Amino acid sequence: MNPNDLPSPWVLARRAARMNPSVIREILKVTERPGIISFAGGLPAPATFPVAEFAAASAQVLQQDGAAALQYAASEGFPALRERVAALLPWPVDPDQVLITTGSQQGLDLVAKVLLDAGSRVLVETPTYLGALQAFTPMEPQVVGVRSDDGGLNLDDLRAKAAGARFLYLLPNFQNPTGRTMGEARRAALAELAAELRLPIVEDNPYGDLWFDQPPPLPLSARLPDGSLYLGSFSKVLAPGLRLGFLVAPPALYPKLLQAKQAADLHSPGFNQRMAARVLEGDFLERHLPRIRALYRSQRDAMLAALSREMHGLDVQWNSPDGGMFLWARLPRGHSALELLPRAVDAGVAFVPGAAFYADAQDDAAAQRTLRLSFVTATAAQIDTGIAALARAIRATGPRP
């Protein structure tokens, strides 16, 4: 929007010109049409939300501790929740390093505020999480994509691009959008390279608990505790509607992140934090996570089977994620996912074109053939129907002339 298009007297900040509507959120509006099977949104399966546990926790919190739960609270977060987070992480973390955030999206906003100046260089995977690009954009950085393959970052390209970067942002586990995971050898080499290059790492791990057969390798933050910021979320293991996430920061960075948090929203809802802390008591996650994993694995398997069956004879490629919520596919040469989308929606199915996730290569022909398919929102039966509809739309579309 041009400031001159505004009625007097407003003048927009320069950064506002770079802030644009989320492509995904615009697509999600289309997919809300009745009857559309959506592989588009990153919406956890509502069947996994512990509604009864929340109802019990809410009643207990309000009855036993209502006044405190509804009052202003410390910006750092509710002590019992910070302690629980620290205890759940697979490396030694002091609860004083844990900052509770309003979803892990807020963690990205705080990181950008504290670490990015206009023009600062930030390295990201290719492709990467769109919400991170949106959180970084208001601080006007130069975002540089590092080449990536099925095993994660290309370390040669990382070395070539690292000079002067404020940090490398990455999702090593069941990445959004690709579903891929960085293996142990690549992590070990990356940790070594980051230490050598003095390259800080911002590690985003919302999906790490959603593994299907075995846990992913140890986080990078466990290997580089002073050189990493770690972001986690309760959105996938409890529920997104509470808006609770967390940040684990080296002691030297924590005070500035805390001040940014105070300025951003004073604190995350104390009521929600107490509910979450109560639900997480005891062995809840040990009982709950296997159910989510089993459900999502069955949905992944349904999608893989449907793809094998329905894409027969089409030169469509896809991967087989070991966890998380997303599968990554590639259309035949000459096809465009963006052009396919309206035809797919007409056929009753939606997805997100992959180009949106490329920080600096959205016009790349290879990027334009990609699509992200979420396998956790639709049921197995809907997945069968939806993938069949997608295959029909691909066949009907054909390559661009």
151-190 binders of a copy of itself (CB under 8 A): 166
198 interacts with a copy of itself by CB under 8 A: yes
CB of 261 to a copy of itself, least distance (A): 10
| CA distance readout (Å), 385 to 52, 115, 294, 303, 345 | 31, 46, 21, 10, 13
Segment interacting with a copy of itself (CB under 8 A) among 106-114, 208-216, 335-343, 352-360:
106-114
Positions in 23-52 near a copy of itself (CB under 8 A): 25, 41-44, 46, 49, 51
Strands 370-374 and 326-330: antiparallel
Which residues are 231's β-sheet partners? Answer: 204, 247
Q: Which is nearer to a copy of itself, 177 or 216 (CB)?
A: 177
Q: What is the DSSP string of 352-394?
A: EEGGGG-SS-TT-HHHHTEEEEE-SSS-HHHHHHHHHHHHHHH
Please identify which residue in 38, 268, 299, 370 interacts with a copy of itself, judged by CB under 8 A.
Answer: 268
CB of 325 to a copy of itself, least distance (A): 12
Positions in 352-381 near a copy of itself (CB under 8 A): none
Here the tokens at position 110 are: 């705080």
Helix, strand and coil in the chain, % to nearest 5? 45, 15, 40
Greatest Cα pair distance, the chain, in angstroms, is 68
Rounded Cα–Cα distance for residues 145 and 165 (Å): 12
270 interacts with a copy of itself by CB under 8 A: yes
Rounded Cα–Cα distance for residues 288 and 106 (Å): 26
Rounded Cα–Cα distance for residues 85 and 249 (Å): 13
Contacting residues for 111 by C-beta, under 8 A, at least 6 apart: 135, 167, 202, 229, 231, 247, 257
Please identify which residue in 87, 263, 365, 381 interacts with a copy of itself, judged by CB under 8 A.
Answer: 263
Q: How many residues bind to a copy of itself according to rule CB under 8 A?
A: 91
Q: Which is nearer to a copy of itself, 165 or 389 (CB)?
A: 165
241 interacts with a copy of itself by CB under 8 A: yes
Please identify which residue in 22, 315, 360, 365 interacts with a copy of itself, judged by CB under 8 A.
Answer: 22
256 interacts with a copy of itself by CB under 8 A: yes
For residues 221 to 240, the per-residue mask of contacts with a copy of itself, x marking binding by CB under 8 A and - elsewhere, is: -----xx-------x---xx
126 interacts with a copy of itself by CB under 8 A: no
1 interacts with a copy of itself by CB under 8 A: yes
Answer whether 192's CB lies under 8 Å from 199's CB. no
Answer whether 328's CB lies under 8 Å from 177's CB. yes
Residue 384: count of CB within 10 angstroms of its CB: 18
Positions in 49-68 near a copy of itself (CB under 8 A): 49, 51, 54-55, 58-59, 62-63, 66-68
CB of 237 to a copy of itself, least distance (A): 12
128 interacts with a copy of itself by CB under 8 A: no
Contacting residues for 231 by C-beta, under 8 A, at least 6 apart: 101, 104, 107, 108, 111, 202, 203, 204, 205, 206, 245, 246, 247, 248
Segment interacting with a copy of itself (CB under 8 A) among 5-13, 169-177, 311-319, 338-346:
5-13
Please identify which residue in 161, 180, 267, 297 interacts with a copy of itself, judged by CB under 8 A.
Answer: 267
19 interacts with a copy of itself by CB under 8 A: yes
